[in-house]
Structure 1
Amino acid sequence: MSNRIGDVVFRILGMVGVAFLAFCAGSFVILDKQFPYEVFRNAYFAGIALFNKKTGYLDPFKTDLWAKARDDARGVTAYERGAAQEGYTLYSSGHTQKAFLIDMQGKVLHEWSMPYSQVWDESSAISDPVDDRNTYFRRTWLYPNGDLLAIYDGVGDTPHGYGLIKIDRNSKLIWKYLQRVHHDLDVAPDGRIFTLTHEIKQHEIENAPNLSPPRIDDDLVELSPDGEELRRIPLLETFVNSQYRGMLAVLPCYWMDTMECNSDFLHSNDVEYVTAENAQHFDFAKEGEVLVSTREPGVLILIDLDTRKLRWAIRGHWIGQHDPDLLPNGHILLYDNNGHFGPGGRSQVFEFDPKTYEVSWRYSGTPDKPFHSIIRGGQERLANGNTLITEDQRGRIFEVTPDGRIVWEFINPVRGGDQNAYLPIVSWGHRLDPASLDEDFRHTLKTSAGE
């Protein structure tokens, strides 16, 4: 009997000892990042991404494509004639793969539609796309003849960029570029298209141990007017190899989320081509360069396409910024998603001098008209001096005067979810002068509007 007890005790102690040694070995592997740390880490992050993709986005109303409506206001809720900049407004909505062109009263003059499932094929960088319900036009660009560029975004996928298409005014496909295009695009005067792609990379970057793989890397991509890839510049490595590499030494954790903090080190979210006119007003910029906004480090960078180098960078007091616009007075207009700490919401739009950081104009919300879009967002300075602002996460586009008065406001009229309490986001509101559109296309707008 005593022998049996001793044998059991010996086995238990042996198991405890093995477990203790395994614990010590595991701790050493994790703390010292020894093999097979990277294998386990990569498998862990891949598992999280796959689990979230397959289970976390089954209900579109629980994704960040929808938000609880502040009230039941829909369509145009404010319009001050004579004070607002007249024109058409182009926007896209998170509930569908469509773009809408509306007049100042909110009447839909034209719409474009192309479900991602109709353009996807085996040439795509996305092998297993999310459902169309979780795909939308993140950014659109309208040509004078009614052709439209549109970037697809697949919410719930990692990475989420789904490609770029060009369709005509009748929503017929002209071409498609099915790399992981994301966030933004700009079109140069000669028709070349500049945009961003991202993908998961597994290689180490020399002298940058804090940017360890697997990570999501962004590329700046140049396309021909016909959608053919002309040039690709890896932004993270270009940043590391520049004199501004110190800005990447300590990176904030914007989302406070393990996956995001350890993988998406730049999260580039905007591109703007520097035209000859822009270059006249910014002595640090040259015609043909591209301004890029990188959200995670909070840095705006200039990329020289010919040398493939980062030539200039600036960091300010903004948090999670989007859409830096170069203004004719040498200032930059910026959408600061989370850098406002007063009443009326965390977001603000401000104009500043990049040489002195002096802020010359600012708009933030009020308690009765809050302004807060934790992610996404955009703005543009209008011809009359007003500013058009897109509060994406609240499905709202509004125009403010220099003194901050709202003279036009549009709320996404679509509702859904429990008791129709949710509205889809809106993306990249853009005001167009009707005279900038071809006459024959304008004629179809009048016809479709019943005018």
Structure 2
Amino acid sequence: ANLLPNGNLLFYTSAPSEPGPMTGIGGHSGGLVELDWDGNLVWQLENPWLHHDFQRLPNGNTLALMWEEMSSDTTFRVNGGFTTAEDPVHMLGDVVREFNPKGEVVHEWKSWEHLSFDEDIICPLEGRREWTHGNSINVTPEGNYLVSFRQTSTVGLVDRENGRFTWKWGPGEVSHQHNPSFLDNGHVLIFDNGSHRRAPNTNYSRIVEIDPANNDITWDYRGEPPISFYSYQISGAERQPNGNTLICEGATGRFIEVTPGHQIVWEYINPLMADSGRLAGGSISGRANAVFRAHRFAADDPALEGRDLDPTRYANLNRILGVS
């Protein structure tokens, strides 16, 4: 969910109940909904091909990640992944579409038209229902796209006007990453999940800040020992105005704030448990406190101006959760 500058909440709904080629894939949604502070419906977009991420643009349009079935020829030429008897003739490819307030498509970018069959190879431990599994879409100050493809462990900058990659990085460096964000210094901050990390490394997560100009990693954060900080899926990181980094260790529902010197100065664990299937990580109860992503808002943020933020309104809920 995204809290908009006007205080409205923009979020994805649950996956549609009707079966389709994307049924069961993580991040699937059936629609986008915008509610005002009082819960009134402001805007919605229903589409069963939506997934993972979206952004409200300054012009009022909405950018969204979507799937589309690729041709059988393109599917045949995609390399990597393990095969099964149920593999589709038409793999799913990622599309970035921009919708105006009327729900009309005003711009689109089809990833497979700009990917390389020789370079963009699916991890051998992942299936072949989709080529890239986009899990994040962000917009640079110039209006270009910053994308993340989990299946191929790739982060890239895309020129919105011509659709070409101006920078692409990741395979062999990160593994099944999430939530790249563009920093004020021109660097990119990434949550490197680290699942299926290449030997001799064990699976562990880390945060990396990379300079696209030379592919140098200028800062990173990892646990000590490394396995003490690990989320095999979802998750994110966000650079704060004070230079610290807010980290969402998604699978465990853990949030931490770390300094540039790697000191943890704040920590919180989500107390809310929910039925979550594959996110439960094999828990006996089938429930988990997993969180896809986290954002921090200052008390003087425009979205919160004039809002009643008195925690005593939720005293009973906070008491039940043990955070009173």
Instruction: Quote the offset at 1:376 in angstroms.
Output: 0.7
Cα 1:433–1:293, aligned 2, differ >3 Å: closer, same or farther? Answer: same
Task: Report the number of matched residues.
Answer: 290
Distance 2:122 2:52 in 1: 21
Verify: 1:163 aligned to 2:39, yes or no. no
Contact 2:54–2:63 (Cα < 8 Å) also in 1: yes
Which of 150-159 and 306-315 deviates more? 150-159
Contact 1:434–1:442 (Cα < 8 Å) also in 2: no
**Gap regions ≥5 residues in structure 2:** 17-21, 81-87, 276-282, 316-324
Instruction: Quote the offset at 1:269 in angstroms.
Output: 1.1
Question: Could you say which residue in structure 2 is the equivalent of 1:325?
Answer: 181
Which of 335-344 and 408-417 deviates more? 335-344
Verify: 1:149 aligned to 2:4, yes or no. no
Cα 1:333–1:340, aligned 2, differ >3 Å: closer, same or farther? Answer: farther
Match of residue 230, structure 2, among 358, 364, 372 = 372
Question: Could you say which residue in structure 2 is the equivalent of 1:70?
Answer: none
Q: Secondary structure at the match of 1:236?
A: helix
Instruction: Quote the offset at 1:345 in angstroms.
Output: 6.0
**Offset from partner CA, 1:105-138 (integer Å, 9 cap, x none):** xxxxxxxxxxxxxxxxxxxxxxxxxxxxxxxxxx
Following superposition of structure 1 onto structure 2, how do residues 20-419 of structure 1 map, counting pairs within 5 Å?
A: 140-154=1-15, 157-159=23-25, 160-179=28-47, 180-205=49-74, 208=77, 210=79, 213-225=89-101, 227-240=103-116, 245-248=117-120, 250-253=121-124, 256=125, 260-275=126-141, 287-316=142-171, 317-338=173-194, 339=197, 346-367=204-225, 370-415=228-273
**Higher RCO (Cα < 8 Å, 6 or more apart):** 1
Cα 1:415–1:263, aligned 2, differ >3 Å: closer, same or farther? Answer: closer
Instruction: Quote the offset at 1:200 in angstroms.
Output: 3.8
Q: Which residue identity lines up with residue 252 of structure 1 in the other structure?
A: C
Instruction: Quote the offset at 1:141 in angstroms.
Output: 0.9
Instruction: Quote the offset at 1:362 in angstroms.
Output: 1.2
Distance 2:43 2:211 in 1: 40
Instruction: Quote the offset at 1:328 in angstroms.
Output: 1.8
Question: Could you say which residue in structure 1 is the equivalent of 2:295?
Answer: 430
**Gap regions ≥5 residues in structure 1:** 1-139, 276-286
Cα RMSD over matched residues? 3.2
Cα 1:421–1:177, aligned 2, differ >3 Å: closer, same or farther? Answer: closer
Contact 2:75–2:91 (Cα < 8 Å) also in 1: no
Contact 1:347–1:372 (Cα < 8 Å) also in 2: yes
Q: Secondary structure at the match of 1:204?
A: helix
Question: Could you say which residue in structure 2 is the equivalent of 1:443?
Answer: 307
Cα 1:442–1:405, aligned 2, differ >3 Å: closer, same or farther? Answer: farther
Instruction: Quote the offset at 1:342 in angstroms.
Output: 9.6
**Offset from partner CA, 1:170-226 (integer Å, 9 cap, x none):** 222222212222111223333332220114445423993649832111111112256
Contact 1:274–1:291 (Cα < 8 Å) also in 2: yes
Contact 2:122–2:132 (Cα < 8 Å) also in 1: no
| TM-score where L is the length of structure 1 | 0.57
Q: Secondary structure at the match of 1:217?
A: strand
Contact 1:344–1:364 (Cα < 8 Å) also in 2: no
| TM-score where L is the length of structure 2 | 0.78
Contact 2:167–2:212 (Cα < 8 Å) also in 1: no
Question: Could you say which residue in structure 2 is the equivalent of 1:4?
Answer: none
Instruction: Quote the offset at 1:427 in angstroms.
Output: 2.1
Instruction: Quote the offset at 1:382 in angstroms.
Output: 0.2
Which of 305-314 and 142-151 deviates more? 305-314
Cα 1:386–1:237, aligned 2, differ >3 Å: closer, same or farther? Answer: same
Contact 2:190–2:207 (Cα < 8 Å) also in 1: yes
Question: Could you say which residue in structure 2 is the equivalent of 1:14?
Answer: none
Instruction: Quote the offset at 1:329 in angstroms.
Output: 2.0
**Offset from partner CA, 1:301-326 (integer Å, 9 cap, x none):** 22233323334322351000111112
Instruction: Quote the offset at 1:237 in angstroms.
Output: 2.4
Contact 1:192–1:224 (Cα < 8 Å) also in 2: yes
Q: Which residue identity lines up with residue 291 of structure 2 in the other structure?
A: V
Contact 2:146–2:156 (Cα < 8 Å) also in 1: yes
Instruction: Quote the offset at 1:450 in angstroms.
Output: 7.4
Cα 1:414–1:158, aligned 2, differ >3 Å: closer, same or farther? Answer: closer
